[in-house]
Amino acid sequence: MWSSKIIVINLILIINNTSPGVETEAKKNMKKSTLFSIAIIAAILITSCNNQTITTTEKMETKAGITKAAWGTTDGKEVFLYTLTNAKGVQVKISNYGATVTSWVSPDKNNKPSGIVLGFDNLSGYLAKPPYFGAVVGRYGNRIAKGKFKIDTAQYTLATNNKTNALHGGLKGFDKQVWEATPASDSTASLLLSYVSKDGEEGYPGNLKVTVLYTLTDDNELKIEYNATTDKATVLNLTNHSYFNLTGDVSNSILDHTLMIDADNYTPVDTTLIPTGEIKSVKGTPFDFTKAKKIGQEIAAAGGYDHNFVLNKKDSSLQKIVELKDSISGRMLEVFTTQPGVQFYTGNFLDGTISTSDGKKINQHAAMCLETQHFPDSPNQPKFPTTLLLPGQQFHSITVYKLSLK
Ligand code: GLA
Could you report the per-residue pLDDT of 96-151, keeping only the tens digit for each? 999 999 999 999 999 999 999 999 999 999 999 999 999 999 999 999 999 999 99
Mutate to test the pocket of ligand 1, among 140, 143, 161, 167 (most ligand atoms within 8 A of CB): 167
For atom 12 of ligand 1, the residue with the nearest CA is 131
Residues pairing with 320 in the sheet: 336
Going from the Cα of 17 to the center of ligand 1, the distance in angstroms, rounded, reads 75
For atom 2 of ligand 1, the residue with the nearest CA is 142
Whether residue 398 has its Cβ less than 6 Å from ligand 1: no
Domain boundaries, the chain: 2-59, 69-405
Whether residue 306 has its Cβ less than 6 Å from ligand 1: yes
With cut-offs at 50, 70 and 90, classify the pLDDT of residue 51.
Answer: very low
> Of residues 36 and 54, which shows the higher confidence score?
36
Could you tell me the pTM of the whole model? 0.86
Whether residue 350 has its Cβ less than 6 Å from ligand 1: no
For atom 3 of ligand 1, the residue with the nearest CA is 306
| pLDDT tens per residue, range 187-233 | 999 999 999 999 999 999 999 999 999 999 999 999 999 999 999 99
| pLDDT tens per residue, range 233-260 | 999 999 999 999 999 999 999 999 999 9
Fold designation for 69-405: Beta-galactosidase; Chain A, domain 5 (2.70.98)
Going from the Cα of 298 to the center of ligand 1, the distance in angstroms, rounded, reads 20
Task: Give the residue numbers marked as catalytic.
Answer: 241, 371
**CB-based contacts of 131-134 (< 8 A; 24+ apart in sequence):** 131/349, 131/350, 132/168, 132/175, 132/241, 133/100, 133/102, 133/241, 133/242, 133/243, 134/98, 134/100, 134/101, 134/102, 134/240, 134/241, 134/242, 134/243
Going from the Cα of 40 to the center of ligand 1, the distance in angstroms, rounded, reads 60
